[in-house]
Amino acid sequence: MGKLAIVQVPPVFLDRAKTLELAIGQIEEAVSQGAELVIFPEAYIPGYPAWAWRLRPGGDWGQCEALHGRLLEQSVDLQRGDLKPLCEAARRHRVTVLCGIDERASDLSRATLFNSYLVIGPDGEVMNHHRKVMPTNPERMVWGFGDGTGLNVVDTPCGRVGTLICWENYMPLARYALYAQGVELYVAPTYDSGDDWIGTLRHIAREAGCWVVGSGNLLRGRDLQVDVADASTIYPDAEEWVNPGDSVVIAPGGAVVAGPMRREAGILYAEVDTAKVGLARRTLDVVGHYARPDIFQLKVNRQPQSPVDFS
């Protein structure tokens, strides 16, 4: 048994330092309630670029460029140590932290952003670093493509954890790559929400026979105000629910055991029992006794990809 905490609190939009400070406070609160695993949403630091879904990259060039410039400035450079405060908080509290970031690559051009998700161990070290392999629709004007190096499952106090970001969870082969590594706690940080999305997560819980966590972005118009490019005109209604969050915990087999936490800020807690995973896979184990490797096989390329080879 292990206790997890899903933080559903808006970031301080496009402010890396203040969002880190907020996240550390949420970790402290979760740990005080006995959490061993603390989960944050997709692109939490310094915030999800929601404007991509409202502005036209060509028609609204000035606003898009100004907002992207601020995101680039406030994004996380791992080599520079921008995430050190969060790692130190994980080490100080001996807790595993999962968090989404807008990551600025520190190699090659040093200007490309990635939608990345990290698993930080209780020793403060990064256990897994995954970059979203396929940004969705207008997100491709914000983030570059990741590769397969982060398609890993790692051991944590709440079981073997694997993560896919938002619509990566609609990619059957990406899911299967995690299933094949014995994932017990499948974490899906996302900008998606609603009953259809929750239905997808329930399907994954049935298909994989594992625990599934949906970590949602909670955003109102007032949470997306920033002092660049007339941003207030993009979300003129401060009370508009841009994203209701819908964080949720689903047991092996598909039963919802916590949440969905809708239009509410706070921390969603749940106890997870990994023993239920083996029982759920007794009748259906898609990478075990229910697989047919004589007919179907998946090949995963985990090699880092680069447009240049200095040899």
Give the active site residues: 42, 132, 166
What lies within 8 Å, CB to CB, of 44 at 6+ separation is 11, 19, 23, 99, 100, 101, 189, 217
Dig out the tokens for 230 from the structure. 């007339």
C-alpha dihedral (258, 276, 100, 90), degrees to nearest 10: 100
Contact 233, 249 (CB under 8 A): no
In angstroms, rounded to a whole number, what is the distance separating the alpha carbons of residues 130 and 201? 20
**DSSP labels, 29-79:** HHHHTT-SEEE--TTTBT---GGGGTS-TTTTHHHHHHHHHHHHHHSB-TT
**3-class SS at 179?**
helix
User: Of the candidates 302, 12, 305, 20, which has an alpha carbon nearest to the alpha carbon of residue 144?
Assistant: 305
